[in-house]
Amino acid sequence: MKELVEYIAKSLVDYPEKVDVTQVEGERSVILELRVAQEDMGKVIGKQGRIAKAIRTVVNAAAIKENKRVMVEIIQ
């Protein structure tokens, strides 16, 4: 799932080399922390969070497959 967030984020930003995803494992849930260059924040969030929402939906599909709960957090 980390790979998924990384791949999508890299496809969206101007500075793919600055995309970083950290996976924090909880007992039944996983938190994926996405960091991008400051200039790219808007590119992964989108107007009214539309892009962030779409990333979360797609990652959720992967999570359902692995029977897990996943949260994607975009870190400033």
Partner 1 sequence: MTSVEVSAKTVEEALSEAIKMLGVKRDNVEVEIINEPSQGFFKLLGGRPAKIKVSILKKPSVYIRDSIKKIVHIIGIDGEVNISKEDEENIFLEIKGEKLGLLIGKHGSTLNDLQYLANVILHRQFESVRQRVIIDIENYRQKRKRTLEHLAQNLAFKALRLKKEINLEPMTPNERRIIHLALKGNRDVVTYSKGDEPFRKVIIAPK
The closest alpha carbon to 42, from 7, 9, 67, 6, belongs to 9
41 binds partner 1 (CB under 8 A): no
Check binding of 15 to partner 1 (CB under 8 A).
no
Among 46, 68, 69, 71, binds partner 1 (CB under 8 A): 46
Among 18, 41, 45, 60, contact with partner 1 (rule: CB under 8 A): 60
Q: Does residue 61 interact with partner 1 by CB under 8 A?
A: yes
64's enclosing H/E stretch is helix 50-65
Q: For residue 73, report the phi and psi dihedrals to the nearest 5 degrees.
A: -115, 130
Size of residue set near partner 1 by CB under 8 A:
22
Pairing of strands 20-25, 29-35: antiparallel
Out of 37, 41, 45, 62, name the contact with partner 1 by CB under 8 A.
Answer: 62
